């Protein structure tokens, strides 16, 4: 009975937003967009038995895209894709990023489909040897398979014959992530002089929401944007902050500094740096 009712809902609703990869980040985005009275379909590999607006599909499988072709979309529909590899291996990244982006490129370019696509990538696309201020204008030069897989996926998205935006997030974090940095064993795995580039998860959802709404309204949006806060600082500064140092974070001037030229186009950051996070709920 449940499966039948889900099928009726999925095949009858003209969806405004489809989130491919509706995990934690996608689920939070779904909630935000539903608050705007939009019809939002979440697609994920694991079922959500209490949510008939979520569809179980394995996007690695070609037959799943055949099913997606039968799902009705509104004229203004936007596709948001948030992939997460099962493991941190080259094969997993190739399947989830390169493989899915290639299937999405084909699906989104079918005749009659001009739906905007938002693709979530990562600033890990830059090579580890690339330093200085790395904003949207800097060409990427991957020197690791992870960055190479991300870059190949971005190139697939760029070939879609519809408006697209790739958003490269820096390391996403929340209060729990910051608290983990108090652990001496965890700290020992990090280079204290390396620059930490981040974005709070709430701000990431806020930016994705803005991109989705703007594309839905037919506004012209940038093809590439970096999702990063304004607090690039060394890990040592963050350690000192957590240990009670009474001094503000100093913006990094050397090393690998992720930045964006388009922050003014996006919602104001609730967490411009990680300094406010430990004291907030």
- What is the full DSSP assignment across the chain? -HHHHHHHHHHHS-EEEEEES-SHHHHHHHHHHHTTT--EEEEESS--TT-TTEEE--TTSHHHHHHHHTS-EEEEEEEEE----SSSSHHHHIIIIIIHHHHHHHHHTSTT----EEEEEEGGGS-TT--EEE-TTSPP---SHHHHHHHHHHHHHHTSSS-EEEEEE-EEE-HHHHHHTT-HHHHTTS-TTSEE-EEEHHHHHHHHHHHHHHHHTT----SEEEE--S--EEHHHHHHHHTT--SPPPPP-SSEEE--S-GGGSPPPS-SSGGGGGG--
> Would you state the pLDDT for residue 64?
94
> Would you state the pLDDT for residue 74?
95
**10 is a domain residue:** yes
Average pLDDT over residues 260-277: 92
Confidence band for 48, pLDDT divided at 50, 70 and 90: confident
**188 is a domain residue:** no
- Length of the chain, in residues: 281
Nearest to 18 by CA among 115, 96, 98: 115
Instruction: Kindly report the CATH number assigned to the domain that includes residue 23.
Output: 3.40.50.720
Tally of domains in the chain: 1
**104 is a domain residue:** yes
What does the pLDDT look like over 221-266, one tens digit per residue? 999 999 999 989 999 999 998 898 888 888 899 999 999 999 999 9
**97 is a domain residue:** yes
Average pLDDT over residues 179-202: 94
- Output the six-digit token pair for 121: 């990538």
Give percent above pLDDT 70 in the chain.
Answer: 94
**183 is a domain residue:** no
**246 is a domain residue:** no
> Would you state the pLDDT for residue 170?
97
**154 is a domain residue:** yes
Confidence band for 138, pLDDT divided at 50, 70 and 90: very high
**80 is a domain residue:** yes
Average pLDDT over residues 34-54: 90
In which domain, by residue range, is 61 found?
A: 2-174+198-231
Is the pLDDT reported for residue 218 higher than 90? yes
Confidence band for 50, pLDDT divided at 50, 70 and 90: confident
Alpha-carbon span 97 to 84, nearest angstrom? 8
């Amino acid at each position: 009975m449940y499966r039948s009712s889900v099928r009726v809902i999925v095949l009858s609703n003209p969806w405004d937003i489809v989130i491919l990869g509706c995990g934690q980040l996608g689920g939070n985005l779904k909630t935000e967009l539903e608050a705007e009275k939009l019809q939002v379909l979440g697609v994920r590999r694991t079922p959500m038995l209490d949510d008939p607006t979520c569809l179980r599909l394995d996007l690695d499988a070609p037959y799943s895209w055949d099913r997606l072709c039968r799902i009705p979309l509104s004229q203004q529909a936007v596709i948001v894709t948030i992939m997460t590899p099962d493991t941190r291996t080259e094969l997993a990244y190739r399947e989830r990023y390169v493989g899915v982006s290639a299937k999405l490129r084909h699906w989104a370019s079918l005749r009659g489909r001009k739906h905007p696509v938002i693709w979530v990538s990562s600033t890990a696309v830059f090579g580890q040897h690339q330093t200085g201020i790395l904003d949207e204008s800097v060409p990427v030069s991957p020197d690791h398979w992870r960055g190479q897989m991300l870059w190949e996926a971005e190139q697939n998205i760029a070939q879609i014959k519809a408006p697209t935006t790739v958003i490269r997030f820096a390391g996403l974090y929340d209060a729990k992530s910051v608290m983990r940095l108090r652990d001496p064993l965890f700290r020992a795995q990090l280079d204290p002089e390396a620059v930490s580039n981040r974005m709070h998860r709430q701000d990431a959802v806020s930016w994705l929401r803005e991109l989705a709404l703007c594309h839905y309204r037919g506004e012209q949006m940038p093809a590439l944007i970096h999702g990063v806060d304004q607090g690039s600082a060394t890990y040592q500064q963050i350690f000192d902050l957590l240990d009670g140092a009474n001094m503000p974070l100093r913006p990094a001037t050397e090393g690998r500094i992720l930045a964006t030229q388009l922050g003014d186009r996006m919602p104001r950051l609730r967490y411009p740096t990680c300094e406010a996070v430990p004291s907030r709920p």
